[in-house]
Structure 1
Amino acid sequence: MITKVRSILENSPLTLILVGGLAAFSAYFSMYAFRKPFLAAQFQAVDGWHIDFDFKSALIIAQVIGYTLSKFIGIKVVSEMPSEKRALSILLLVGLSWLALVGFAVLPAPYNLIMMLINGLPLGMIWGLVFAFLEGRKSTEVLTVILSASFIIASGIMKSVGTWLMLTWGITELWMPAISALIFFPLLALSLIGLSCLPPPSIEDELARTKRVPMDKCARKQFVKENFVCLMFLIAAYVFFTALRDIRDNFTTELWQELGYGGQALIFTLSELPITLIALVIIFAMKYVKDNYRAFFLTQTVIIFGALLIAISTFAFESNYIDAVSWMILSGMGLYIAYAPYGALLFDRLLAAKRFAGNAGFIIYLADSAGYAATLSILLAKYFVFDTQNWLSFYIQLSYLTAFMVCVFIVGSILLNTFSSNRFSAQQVTA
């Protein structure tokens, strides 16, 4: 059946986009059910937890440690993964994360903390494995628009699902994460079948975006050596976005409570919908930029715009020009306008512009490993250095810092690629 469907998709670009986009969206959306619902719980007065440290915060740190380790492992695993093993690998990795959630519910505190670390350990590789099905195509922007919608809206939806299970069905905080995940397991399985049906990039795709192949250690070293300074600028900016995004994502409940909107399950979802729409329209528009170097440059300009929107909206909120909901929407819009293009198209276009035979998963995981290591460091700093500061104040200060540093690094990248003697050749990179 898969062979027959693949043949149909090879001869119908529109059908390929519909099937591939929906399957990728569903796969990554489902993964969030295994990662995020626990954030909807408060975990106050947990039996067996006698340490003078917030239990939920300990869970977040444990999962982030696992997720960060996963990103470092993914540099090798994702970049070297053969295409025929991707779907099964995703299923096994997500299955392991679910078993960890069951272990979290069964084991008493504090021993269940290790289960949350194990939960995060396999999930950090899912984005790269899903994105690998889509990269290197002329339709990559369209496909990744659909994929990117998943991680923008999924977190809010999964927290709403978790809240709904606890409030409506009386599911305990400890079992809610495993039950939330189980609900989405059939959708994950169906989506992996869909991804397995996708044909590899065509010859036309390879001419436009370069051939995508697994990268061994030598290929990875060569790419980094040739593009070291450019990668440092881009990854440095990405580090700040990742930290800000993860703080916002992990502590949305606390932020909304401090803003006066606690206990409203739908606030997570409704606030993310306009953010999703605007961010995805911008990514989709890049499809019409055929020249890979020009698309790479324009994407960096969009990133700067997103950073400025974060700073301006935060200043407007602090100055009482806009209310809390408007600020969360506008600052989130700026964050995702800038953050989403990294995994969706910036590195894909960089690879195409350089005409380097490899895969974008390697670059994504270089950036992700640095980003989540920084996130972990910032979390620890918040708890042990800035422990008296509330999350709202901390998030506001981090927003300003992120906006400033991102502008510095991205401007540096643009200047480097504009004036460097090794600048891309526009004649070689037209898609």
Structure 2
Amino acid sequence: MAGDLPRLLLGGLAAFAAYFAMYAFRKPLAVAGWTDVGFHPFGLDYKTALVIVQVVGYAASKLIGIRVMAEFGRIGRASVIFGLISISWACLIAFALLPPVLGLACILMNGFALGMIWGLVFSYLEGRRTTELLGAMLCGAFILASGVVKSAGALLLQEGVPEHWMPAATGLPFFPVLILSLWLLERMPAPSAADEAERTPRRPMDKTERAAFLQAHGLPMALLTASYIVLTAMRDFRDNFAAELWTALGMGGSAAVFSASELPVAVIALGALAGLILVRDNVKAMLAMHGVIMLGGALLGLGTLAFQAGLLGPMPWMILAGAGLYLAYLPFNAMLFDRMIAVLGRTANAGFLIYIADTAGYAGSIALLLWRSLFAPAADWVPLFIAFAHVAAVLIIVLTGISALYFWRRAGQKRGIPDCLT
């Protein structure tokens, strides 16, 4: 592994850059207010409608991706990634040119095109002894990129770029980054024999194999997916309405606030997750990840209580809440299912499991958006976020704790320890 380590680290940076570039075609949309648009579909304000249809497109893509990611091989990944992101940019141009009602369809297709990117990029990294480190590098993209590209979009708006053209204008400069990163990813070495011996070989799964995997391991998948639904809904709510939250907290005048709040979040969350590479035993690593997820839920809940008690100001609270959310959220997107496959000893691929969780997670995100828009449209942003944070913290800890107990008992049974002692 030592000889390949520089190339692997370069591949991790390339994965980070590729996914960072993808965010430039997805997230700038959320920084604008769209208050001048008179079109209110189904009684929703236009921004909420845009966010919902983009997430619907993203979720639909994830649903299709359950099969696509399970069966996709190593050939043609870079071309597919570039093609999908190019389609998403074309949708942003069409959005700027067409009337609002058709603009919704454009953003729906934008989300649909981008929903496959994570699984395709992560497929370069999975099944390696360095997956935790490489996955942490990749996960850094959707912490940092969200804030950076929204800051970029806000700056373009301040410079006079029209709202409808701002998303497409933000994405354009990221094409060279995307092309270079894909070129580097294609040159990553394949998982070695030692990687496969420790982490289980990764290969496409047909329909029968997918059904057999879920039938055998449905309980932990259901528990973890339920926890991920809560996390995705909370993370998307914080991410898509960051502008409104910062304005309600009295800090909405600065474009830099989006980036300033996310850099500490990335350092805290990614540092903790990268350290899991030091845990060689797959069962211990799996349980450690459950502990990290529960710690994230605790930080979210306790940080919110501290803000309510006046012990934290707005910026420290948003950083701590973000760190808690991402500590809990990130393992699902890289390390957790990769280690699960190794623990269970079944030949599979992590993309299949990630996309099952993602599909359910984005359905939860859509449900939260609709609930807020239809049943609490006049609710203040900060109290609403506080209420959601407390509910989410409890659910994350309870659901993940039960899943951890499942794997702990399973490990004890494999070692021949009686159930009463596990």
TM-score range, shorter chain: over 0.9
Cα distance in 1 for partners of 2:166, 2:345 equals: 47
**Any unmatched runs of 5+ in structure 2?**
417-422
Distance apart, 1:219 and its partner CA: 1.2
Aligned to 1:429: none
Aligned to 2:104: 113
Aligned residues: 416
| Selected match of 2:314 from 324, 328, 331 | 324
Cα distance in 1 for partners of 2:106, 2:205 equals: 32
Deviation track 1:116-158 (CA, whole Å, cap 9, x = no partner) reads 1010002111111100000001111111111111111100001
The SS at the match of 1:112 is helix
Give the aligned CA root-mean-square deviation in angstroms.
Answer: 1.6
Cα distance in 2 for partners of 1:200, 1:70 equals: 27
Aligned to 2:211: 221
Aligned CA distance change for structure 1 residues 331 and 226 (closer, same or farther; 3 Å): same
Q: Are residues 1:299 and 2:289 paired? A: yes
Aligned to 1:71: 62
Q: Are residues 1:174 and 2:132 paired? A: no
Aligned to 2:420: none
Aligned to 1:28: 19
Aligned to 1:7: none
Deviation track 1:306-364 (CA, whole Å, cap 9, x = no partner) reads 10111001011111111111100111111111111111211110011111111000010
Cα distance in 1 for partners of 2:32, 2:308 equals: 28
The SS at the match of 2:155 is helix
**Does the 8 Å CA contact 1:47/1:108 hold for their aligned counterparts?**
no
Alignment of 1:122-271 (within 5 A): 122-168=113-159, 170-271=160-261
| Selected match of 1:41 from 25, 32, 48 | 32
The SS at the match of 1:211 is coil
Aligned CA distance change for structure 1 residues 395 and 49 (closer, same or farther; 3 Å): closer
Aligned CA distance change for structure 1 residues 165 and 203 (closer, same or farther; 3 Å): same
**Does the 8 Å CA contact 1:417/1:424 hold for their aligned counterparts?**
no
Deviation track 1:200-222 (CA, whole Å, cap 9, x = no partner) reads 10111100101000111111111
Aligned CA distance change for structure 1 residues 348 and 423 (closer, same or farther; 3 Å): farther
Deviation track 1:210-256 (CA, whole Å, cap 9, x = no partner) reads 10001111111111111110111111111101110000010000000
Distance apart, 1:281 and its partner CA: 0.9
Q: Are residues 1:406 and 2:396 paired? A: yes
The SS at the match of 1:111 is helix
Distance apart, 1:186 and its partner CA: 1.1
Cα distance in 1 for partners of 2:119, 2:42 equals: 37
After TM superposition, the score normalised by the length of structure 2 is: 0.96
Distance apart, 1:52 and its partner CA: 4.8
Aligned to 2:304: 314
Q: Could you tell me which amino acid in structure 1 is paired with residue 76 of structure 2? A: K
Cα distance in 2 for partners of 1:16, 1:389 equals: 50
The SS at the match of 1:260 is coil
The SS at the match of 1:374 is helix
Distance apart, 1:421 and its partner CA: 8.1
Q: Could you tell me which amino acid in structure 2 is paired with residue 104 of structure 1? A: F
Aligned CA distance change for structure 1 residues 186 and 360 (closer, same or farther; 3 Å): same
**Any unmatched runs of 5+ in structure 1?**
1-9, 427-431
Cα distance in 1 for partners of 2:415, 2:345 equals: 10
Aligned CA distance change for structure 1 residues 51 and 350 (closer, same or farther; 3 Å): closer
Q: Could you tell me which amino acid in structure 2 is paired with residue 402 of structure 1? A: A
**Does the 8 Å CA contact 1:293/1:424 hold for their aligned counterparts?**
no
Distance apart, 1:390 and its partner CA: 2.1
Cα distance in 2 for partners of 1:51, 1:232 equals: 33
| Selected match of 2:371 from 358, 381, 387 | 381
Deviation track 1:74-131 (CA, whole Å, cap 9, x = no partner) reads 1011111111121111111111111110110010112211101010002111111100
Aligned CA distance change for structure 1 residues 423 and 396 (closer, same or farther; 3 Å): farther
Cα distance in 2 for partners of 1:135, 1:13 equals: 15
Alignment of 1:55-70 (within 5 A): 55-70=46-61
Distance apart, 1:51 and its partner CA: 7.4
Aligned to 1:5: none
Deviation track 1:157-206 (CA, whole Å, cap 9, x = no partner) reads 010000111212x2110001011111101111111111111121011110
| Selected match of 2:329 from 333, 336, 339 | 339
**Does the 8 Å CA contact 1:86/1:129 hold for their aligned counterparts?**
yes
Cα distance in 2 for partners of 1:144, 1:416 equals: 25
